[in-house]
Amino acid sequence: MNLFTLRRPAPSLDDLVLEVSPGEPSGDALMPTVAKPPQVFVRGQGSWLWDSDDRAYLDFSQGNAANSLGHSPQVLIKALADQTQALINPGMALHNRTQLSLVERLCHRTGSDQAYLLNSGAEACEAAIKLARKWGQLHRGGAYRIISASNARHGRSFAALAASTGAQENRFEPQLPGFSHVPFNDLPALHAAVDAQTVAIMLEPIQSAGVVPATEHYLKGVERLCRELGILLILDEVQTGMGRCGTLLAEQHYGVRADIITLGKGLGGGVPLAALLARGNACCFDLGELEGTHHGNALMASAGAAVLNNVLEHGFLEHVRESGLYLGEGLARLAYRYDHGAPRGQGLLWGLTLSEESADAVVNAALHEGLILSAPQPDCLRFTPALTVSKSNIDEMLLRLARAFSRVRTAQLQCRKGIAV
């Protein structure tokens, strides 16, 4: 059933946005840090969002993969409601049962020795960098340099930003020193970059910018290199962890084992929660070296526990794998029809390279069709639906995406015709 009935004439490329509804807040008071469409969203359920005009939108972004169980899942509503009535935040200097239970389960299920709860993926990556440098002081003669990959996205805090590349122009110079970048999926380049001051290699198993997966040969080679040279392997699983790739962690799919792992996004199911996991002698933080007012608070930890319970339920990860294959096959058919590149990804994390740098236009056209997507690069669309997404939702998404492609193609032809005239 098509829940989005508003249809409009094919617009020009400049008009592929919807206008804000009269009477809605203008957003002028909001700092313009992220480009956003004018709609104001008021409720959500599963794979659907509704705006203030009661228009329904099929959401295949889900907060850039944060809403792992979809919008307002009952298990999360109940967990937060129950926890709110019991305890919200006793303070970072005090234990709470929900926090302790979640870190113990995360360690048990991931084969980690210690875990720490934070608020965001960027914070988790920042903490991983701190932990690696502390380890370098203790075990590698003060080594501090971290090697990451070209087009990496590890967050917008200062250390995470320095570990990232290819983002929009950095106007916050000077950057934090001690980071270098080499091409992704290039083992010789990585090997050549390691020196006596290198403490760790930090990678995303699937790069969120462009959704570019590491090859199995590459990631296993990186792990082997780290073991041979006595340096740490940090895997940024903020995007790929918590079942997104069809396994609890993407490292399990690749058959590797990192020393430090970061989790975020889907761990909280939509609320701000992240985790730092460490193994072996990488567990070297001492008192006072990592803390935060809301770190490990009971309310957010209850959300993480609810998400983890669901992801570990029998058949859940199998559903993610099956739905992911179905989505990938559908995207491949659509890409072939519109002369775009082959889709790439794993589980329910997919990217599609377009034949032109028209990703923003497609995202805006999709809004006209009641479909929410994200564009991490000018020529790339990213698909991160709820892990509970149904095949019927995928079919509906493909229909709306096809109409969005047609809108953009029509607008492009009209523009070219105008130029020719």
Sheet holding 371-372, edge to edge: 41-45, 48-51, 56-59, 371-372
**405 closest CA partner among 371, 353, 365:** 365
Q: What is the pLDDT of residue 1?
A: 46
Q: Which of the four pLDDT bands, split at 50, 70 and 90, describes residue 8?
A: very low
- Which has the higher per-residue pLDDT, 271 or 158? 271
CA 162/CA 387 separation, integer angstroms: 31
* Residues 58, 370 contacting (CB under 8 angstroms): yes
CA 34/CA 304 separation, integer angstroms: 26
Read off φ and ψ for residue 375, nearest 5 degrees.
Answer: -125, 95
> What are 93-96's contacts with CB under 8 Å, separation 24+?
96/296, 96/297, 96/298, 96/301
Q: Which of the four pLDDT bands, split at 50, 70 and 90, describes residue 237?
A: very high
- Which has the higher per-residue pLDDT, 196 or 158? 196
Please state the pTM of the whole predicted model: 0.91
Q: What is the pLDDT of residue 15?
A: 55
**299 closest CA partner among 104, 115, 96:** 96
CA 374/CA 384 separation, integer angstroms: 9
In the structure encoding, which two tokens stand for residue 402, read together? 């096809």
What is the H or E stretch that residue 336 is in?
helix 316-337
CA 153/CA 205 separation, integer angstroms: 12
β-strands 212-213, 41-45: how paired?
unpaired
Q: What is the pLDDT of residue 24?
A: 65
Q: How many residues does the chain have?
A: 421
How distant is the alpha carbon of residue 82 from its chain centre?
28
Residue-wise pLDDT tens digits, 338-353: 999 999 999 999 999 9
- Across the chain, mean pLDDT equals 92
Rounded to an integer, the average pLDDT of 119-140 is 97
Query: Taking the C-alpha atoms of 237, 374, 300 and 161 in order, what is their torsion angle to the nearest 10 degrees?
Result: 60
Rounded to an integer, the average pLDDT of 376-381 is 95
Residue-wise pLDDT tens digits, 310-320: 999 999 999 99
Q: Which of the four pLDDT bands, split at 50, 70 and 90, describes residue 28?
A: confident
Cβ neighbours around 290 below 10 Å, total: 17
Residue-wise pLDDT tens digits, 165-222: 865 556 678 888 999 999 999 999 999 999 999 999 999 999 999 999 999 999 999 9
In the structure encoding, which two tokens stand for residue 411, read together? 């607008």
Query: Taking the C-alpha atoms of 211, 212, 216 and 219 in order, what is their torsion angle to the nearest 10 degrees?
Result: -100
* Residues 210, 374 contacting (CB under 8 angstroms): no
Per-residue pLDDT for 21 more than 60? no
What stretches of 183-342 adopt beta strand conformation (E)? 198-203, 206-207, 212-213, 232-236, 260-263, 274-278
**116 closest CA partner among 129, 132, 100, 130:** 100
Residue-wise pLDDT tens digits, 241-293: 999 999 999 999 999 999 999 999 999 999 999 999 999 999 999 999 999 99
Phi-psi region of 208 (alpha: psi -120 to 50; beta: other; left: phi over 0): alpha
CA 50/CA 308 separation, integer angstroms: 27
Q: What letter does residue 219 receive in the DSSP assignment? A: H
Q: What is the pLDDT of residue 412?
A: 81
Q: Identify whether 37 is preceded by a cis peptide bond (ω within 30 of 0).
A: no
3-state secondary structure of 61: coil
Q: How many helices (H) and strands (E) does the chain have?
A: 12, 17
**361 closest CA partner among 314, 326, 299, 406:** 406
Per-residue pLDDT for 4 more than 60? no
CA 72/CA 70 separation, integer angstroms: 7
Could you tell me the CA-to-CA distances from 419 to 179, 371, 409, 412 in Å, in that order? 46, 30, 15, 11
Give the chain's end-to-end CA distance (angstroms, integer). 42
3-state secondary structure of 201: strand
* Residues 54, 41 contacting (CB under 8 angstroms): no
Q: Which of the four pLDDT bands, split at 50, 70 and 90, describes residue 143?
A: very high
Beta bridge partners of 236: 262
Please name the residues in contact with 300: beta carbons below 8 A apart, sequence gap of 6 or more: 117, 119, 268, 271, 272, 273, 294
Q: What is the pLDDT of residue 418?
A: 64
**61 closest CA partner among 211, 163, 275:** 211
